[in-house]
Amino acid sequence: MRPSRVLPLFTVLVLSACNSGETVTAKNESAESVARKVAASTIKPLPGQWASTMKIEKMELPNMPPEAKAMMEKQLASAQTFTSCLKPEQVEKPNAEFFQGKSSFCTYDTFTMGGGKIDAVMTCGKGSQSRKMTMTGTYGPEAYAMRMSSAGEMQPGMPMSMTMSISAKRIGECTGKEDI
């Protein structure tokens, strides 16, 4: 899994909760609605360069061929590190993609962000194919730690579950040389 696919779903969710005693909550709401609530709140992240470490702790694909499974387990053995730039305009006006990545078929079953903690459950997909993601973590203005679990089908008849962790810290101003 590439960091550029993971960052919008996890990193920015946590970053968006820095610097405020306010709490944002949602139940059975679209990513667009959550983005509007966060944009209207005083909850704002610190823009700048962030160094992140992502570790896939567990991935289960029961129907995966043994050779592919061995290759995947080898890749999962190490953490991935990357840097990203959070721009001031992304902080001031987050859009739905900021909260759900490229998928436009996501709804937050629950979303609570405040007091240094985040807890969210999101369902993504359409028709009979969907996945459920649970995200929990802690945050502060200069660092965060998040754990995410996801379960669903990659395609019909191909179940998949995954657990990963991501942590990051702000390391300064954007340089234009960030990984993503």
What is d(CA 2, CA 140) in angstroms, rounded to the nearest whole number? 25
Record the pTM. 0.75
| Per-residue pLDDT tens digits of the chain, which is 180 residues long | 444 444 444 444 444 444 456 888 999 998 888 877 877 777 667 889 989 999 988 888 887 788 887 887 777 778 889 998 888 887 776 655 555 455 557 889 999 988 888 899 998 887 667 889 999 998 777 888 999 999 988 777 778 898 999 998 999 999 998 887
Other beta carbons within 10 angstroms of residue 92's beta carbon come to 10
Q: Can you give the length of the chain in residues?
A: 180
Cα 15–Cα 18–Cα 19 angle in degrees, nearest 5: 155
